[in-house]
Amino acid sequence: EKDIYILAIESSCDETAASVVKNGRKVLSNVISSQIALHTQYGGVVPELASRKHIEKINQVISCALLEAGMGLEDMDAVGVTYGPGLVGALLVGVAQAKSLAWAADKPLVGVHHIEGHICANFITHPELEPPFVCLVVSGGHTHLVVVKDYGEFDILGRTRDDAAGEAFDKVARAIGLGYPGGPKVDALAKSGDPHAIRFPRARIEGCPYDFSFSGLKSAVLNYLNHAKMSGETVNSADLAASFQNAVVDMLVSRAVAAAEEQGYGKLALAGGVSANSAIRRGMEEACGKAGLKLYYPEPVYCTDNAAMIGSAAYYEFRRGARSGWDLNAVPNLKL
Ligand code: KG4
Ligand code: ZN
C-alpha cells in the first residue's frame, strides 16, 4: 500500500504548530512555536494577541516542518488542520493557511476536531494501540470521557459540567501565585507537599457517574486560602498543591477506570495537556494495575497542543474518505 503523508496545522489556542506525519503514526517533523512568554505577562491567554502571533509565525512554522521532514508541499497527500473547538481568531489563522496551501498545491483538505487530535496522540506513542478503547481527555478547555469505538468514531460517556481539569489547575496555580500555565507548576510544587494534608471535596453528579465537576474543588481551595489570609495563618503551598492535585487525581481515576471496566475492552488511554501530570499518571497506573487494564498515554510533547496529533487524526479521517470543502470555517464550539 502507498504511504500517506499529511501536512498538519494546529493553531486553536496559544501554540502555532505544524507537522509532517507518515501513515498516521510516524512523525517526520513536529514544530511548535509557543506563545507562553507572550501571555504570561497577562496571567492567561489573550485571544486577540494569540491570533496576531499566529499570523506572524505560521508561515515560518510550516516551512520548518516541511524542511525538517525533508519534503515539499508537492509530496503531501493532504493538508490537515484543526478547525475547532478553540479560539475563533486563532483557529481562523490555521484554517485560512491550510486552505490556501491545499488550494495552491491542488491537495485535499481535511478539517480535524482538536479533541480527536488529542486522542490520536496515543497512536503516535503506541504503534500497537488500536480501537476500541476508553479515553480520558483532560486539557485546558476539555474534560471528556470517550469510547473510541473505531478510528473517527466516538461515544461520549461523560464530560465536565463546569471547569475543565486544566482550567482548575490554572486557576489554583494563579491563586497560589505560581503564574501561567499553572498545571506543570502545581505538578512540580506538589512533589514536595503532603497530598493528605488538606481534605478537599470530591464532587459526584447524581445519576451521571461519568460526569465531572471541578468548580467546587476550585472554590474550596480559594476559600481555604482566604480563610488563612483573614486569620493570619501561613499556608504551606506545597501541601495545598499536593492536596488539590490529589482530589483531581481521585475524581479522574475513579471515573475513568470504572468506565474502562464497564466497557470491557481492557484498555484505557489518557490524552490532553493534563495527562502529562505525574500524579495523574501514577494514580492511573496504580488503579489500572489493580483493575487489570492496560494503560496508554502519549509522550509529554504529544500531550499538550501540537500538530503531529492533528496529522494522525487527519490521516484516519482521510482514510475514511473525509474531505473538507474550500468553505471550511473555524467552529469555536465544535462538538465531537
Ligand atoms: O491540551 P492542552 O495543551 O491545551 C488545550 O487543548 O486546552 O492543555 C493545556 C492544559 C493547561 O491547563 C495546563 O495547565 C495543563 O494542560 N497541563 C498540566 C500539566 N501540563 C499541562 N496540568 C497538570 N499537570 C501538568 N503536568
Ligand atoms: Zn488541546
- Does the CB atom of residue 140 touch ligand 1 within 6 A? yes
Closest alpha carbon to 28 in 315, 237, 305, 259: 315
* Ligand with the closest atom to the CA of 272: 1
Locate cell 487494564: which residue? 293
* Total number of domains constituting the chain: 2
Any idea what the CATH number is for the domain that residue 220 is in? 3.30.420.40
Q: How far is the CA of 225 from the centre of ligand 2 (A)?
A: 29
Residue 204 located in a structural domain: yes
For residue 278, the ligand 1 atom closest to its alpha carbon is 26
In a domain, 330, yes or no: no
Structural domain including 51 reads 5-119+303-319
Q: Kindly state whether residue 221 falls inside one of the protein's structural domains.
A: yes
Give pLDDT, residue 44: 86
Residues 86 and 215 in one domain: no
Evaluated on CA atoms 18, 96, 91, 98, the torsion sign reads: negative
174 domain residue, yes or no = yes
- Do 114 and 187 sit in the same domain of this protein? no
β-strand pairing of 15-22 with 26-34? antiparallel
Q: Measured from the CB, is residue 277 less than 6 Å from ligand 1?
A: yes
Note whether 142 and 276 are same-domain residues: yes
Residue 331 in domain: no
Quick one: 111 and 259 in the same domain?
Answer: no
Question: If you measure from the C-alpha of residue 305 to the centroid of ligand 2, how many angstroms do you get, rounded to a whole number?
Answer: 5
Residues 96 and 34 in one domain: yes
Annotated binding-site residues for substrate read 137-141, 170, 183, 187, 277
Quick check: CB of 193 below 6 Å from ligand 1? no
Q: What is the ipTM metric for this complex?
A: 0.98
Query: Residue 301 Cα, ligand 2 centroid: separation in angstroms?
Result: 12
Q: What is the pLDDT of residue 163?
A: 96
Same domain, 67 and 164: no
Please report whether residue 112 resides in a domain.
yes
Whether residue 198 sits in one domain with residue 283: yes
- Is residue 135 in some structural domain? yes
Q: Is 13 in the pocket of ligand 1 (CB under 6 A)?
A: yes
Let me know if residue 326 belongs to a domain: no
Q: How far is CA 271 from CA 40, 96, 274, 281, 327, in A?
A: 24, 27, 8, 11, 30
Q: What is the pLDDT of residue 75?
A: 98
Both 179 and 282 in one domain: the answer is yes
Judgement on whether residues 307 and 293 belong to the same structural domain of the protein:
no
Name which residue sits closest to atom 16 of ligand 1, judged by CA: 273
171 with 281, same domain: the answer is yes
Do 23 and 95 lie in one domain? The reply is yes
User: What span, in angstroms and rounded, lies between the C-alpha atoms of 84 and 115?
Assistant: 9
Asked if 7 and 76 touch (Cβ cutoff 8 Å), the reply is yes
Ligand 1 pocket residue status of 179, Cβ below 6 Å = no
Is residue 64 exposed (0-12), middle (13-18) or buried (19+ Cβ within 10 Å)? Answer: middle
Q: Please tell me the distance from the alpha carbon of residue 116 to that of residue 109, in angstroms, as a whole number.
A: 17
Q: Is the CB of 195 under 6 A from ligand 1?
A: no
Sheet with 78-84: list strands edge to edge.
Answer: 26-34, 15-22, 5-10, 78-84, 109-113
Atom of ligand 1 nearest to the CA of 15: 3
User: Given ligand 1 and candidates 304, 305, 336, which is best to mutate, with the most ligand atoms within 8 Å of its CB?
Assistant: 304
Rounded to the nearest whole angstrom, what is the distance from the C-alpha of residue 183 to the centroid of ligand 1?
6
Q: Are residues 48 and 95 in the same domain?
A: yes
Of 18, 90, 9, 17, whose CA–CA distance to 49 is shortest?
Answer: 90
Q: Tens-of-pLDDT digits for all 336 residues of the chain?
A: 899 999 999 999 999 999 999 999 999 999 999 998 899 888 889 999 999 999 999 999 999 999 999 999 999 999 999 999 999 999 999 999 999 999 999 999 999 999 999 999 999 999 999 999 999 999 999 999 999 999 999 999 999 999 999 999 999 999 999 988 899 999 999 999 999 999 999 999 999 999 999 999 999 999 999 999 999 999 999 999 999 999 999 999 999 999 999 999 999 999 999 999 999 999 999 999 999 999 999 999 999 999 999 999 999 999 999 999 999 999 999 998
Closest residue by Cα to residue 66 from 119, 115, 20, 8: 20
